[in-house]
Amino acid sequence: MYGHKSKTGARVLPSPSAVPSPIADKKIDLPVSIKDPSVSDLYLAYNFFGPIKEIKDTTAGKQIILDTTEKDLPNFIISGQETSIGRISPNNAPTPASEKDLKTGQHVAISATYNVKKGDWVTRNVNIVD
């Protein structure tokens, strides 16, 4: 078990950065090689959270830009066929929403997948967090 016991006998856990992880920064140890011919695709699922800084119109659809200092975020493109939009409120069931409900300043939870073999992103879900 991780951590150690304090002088009082309570277990003290290490900081999350000290816990060993199979994923190093931008490197991953895969259980099956993506070069294996039987592997057609490999997806990584990411969850992002933050306020909307800007919503842009693009040729591919609406793009959500989060207000963050992180520069390596993907383009969150809303695609009618691949992206669902909803609203999450405390103590209520999630409800459907639409592109019209998205506003700058709102906090959103975005799930996106990255296809490692093809090198592309798909925005799967955008949830407005009330």
Each of the 130 residues of the chain gets a pLDDT tens digit; together they read: 334 445 555 545 444 444 444 555 677 788 898 889 999 999 999 999 999 999 999 999 999 999 988 888 999 999 888 999 999 988 878 899 999 999 999 999 999 999 988 889 999 999 999 8
Q: Locate 46 and state its tokens.
A: 């990411």
Give the pLDDT score at 18. Answer: 46
pLDDT of residue 80: 83
Give the span between the Cα atoms of 124 and 85, in whole angstroms: 9
Judge residue 107's burial from the number of C-beta atoms within 10 Å of its C-beta, 0-12 exposed, 13-18 middle, 19 or more buried.
Answer: middle
Q: Produce one character per residue of 34-65: b if its CB has 16 or more CB atoms within 10 Å, e if not.
A: eeeeeeeeeeeeeebebebeebeeeeebbebe
Structure tokens at 74: 């993907």
Model pLDDT, residue 1: 38
**Hey, is 44 helix, strand or coil?**
strand
- The angle at the Cα of 72, spanning 27 to 125, to the nearest 5 degrees, equals 95
Q: Which positions ≥6 away from 19 have C-beta within 8 Å?
A: 2
Contact 14, 86 (CB under 8 A): no
Q: Which pLDDT value is given to residue 101?
A: 97
Neighbour tally for 117: CB within 10 Å: 12
Residue 3 confidence (pLDDT): 44
